[in-house]
Amino acid sequence: MAVTKGHGNPNWNRDETILALETYFALGGKNPNSKDPVIIALSNTLRALPYHGEAARKPTFRNPDGAAFKVQNLRSRETGKGLSNVSRMDREIWDELGANPVEVTRLASLIRAGIASELGLEAPSPDEAEDVEFYEGRLLTQKHMRRERSPGLRKALLKKLEGVGLECQMCGDTHSNLPPEFRAAAFEAHHVVPIASVGAGVTKLSDVALLCAVCHRVLHRMISLQRRWIGVEEARALVKAPANSIF
């Protein structure tokens, strides 16, 4: 097969590559073919994702040929034969998940849950994308952020804690060094359960923890780096662990 530049289409991201790897496993060693219903289904899913804005409207974007080509790349990663233009993302995903089809299926279904929950919404802005991406995939990560940034949720949480006083549930800081009228600004709401397992509906106050802004960032980074869910309790223990012992 000829090496193509993908008609100037945007690079594949992690979620897209995981979906392609799922298709690779579904083919059970068969050569990917753009007429195969499994490849056509992959192409349709990829074209429905809201990641790439205008670029995704081009007819060549993730079309069945492109989808088959990507699956072929992943295949050559396994066989070591054929194509030499396997991307860094392909290599990373293959090294991480190539021996674990069960995990690929699980992650692909989380990504699809993200798609289902985000349909009708516009593409995430680059600001929202940030630098963390949970194992649940980009869409559910964004959903996590959106939920906990909802002003109503944060207000309700602060109100609930009015009598008790504000304290970060991870580091214990109360920010009492700040004048009382600024103190609340140091705190954020964090959703303590994976979005995929809470589903639609209103966020319950029992599902959110109060964290200082720094701990909240650190916890998100931990979840992103370790590619699994990490609760506040565990995060508290992890930040106290000696340097270099965990990451």
Q: Which residues of this chain interact with Zn ion, rule CB under 5 A? A: 148, 168, 170-171, 190, 212, 215
Nearer to Zn ion, 171 or 238 (CB): 171
| Least Å from the CB of residue 176 to Zn ion | 13
Nearer of residues 26 and 222 to Zn ion, judged by Cβ: 222
Which residue, 52 or 190, has its beta carbon nearer to Zn ion? 190
- How far, in Å, CA of 70 to CA of 16, rounded? 10
Which segments of the chain are extended strands (E)?
A: 187-191, 208-212
Q: How far is the CB of 172 from Zn ion (least distance, A)?
A: 7
Rounded Cα–Cα distance for residues 201 and 22 (Å)? 29
Give the C-alpha separation, 87 to 57, whole Å: 23
Pairwise CA distance, residues 41 & 92, whole Å: 24
Q: Least CB distance from residue 74 to Zn ion, whole Å?
A: 32
Least Cβ distance, residue 11 to Zn ion (angstroms)? 27
Residue 109 dihedral angles phi and psi, to the nearest 5°: -75, -30
CB of 213 to Zn ion, least distance (A): 8
Q: CB under 8 Å, gap of 24 or more: what pairs does 190-194 form? A: 190/148, 190/216, 190/219, 190/232, 191/144, 191/147, 191/148, 192/231, 192/232, 194/134, 194/136, 194/140, 194/229
| Closest to 202 in 3D by CA, of 213, 212, 214, 191 | 191
Q: Nearest to residue 66, comparing CAs of 150, 7, 19?
A: 7
Q: Which residues contact 66 (CB under 8 A, 6 or more apart)?
A: 6, 7, 9, 43, 60
Please, which residue, 14 or 146, has the CB nearer to Zn ion? 146
Shortest CB 223 distance to Zn ion, Å? 8
**Closer by beta carbon to Zn ion, 96 or else 173:** 173
Q: Which CB atom, from 54 or from 127, has the smaller least distance to Zn ion?
A: 127
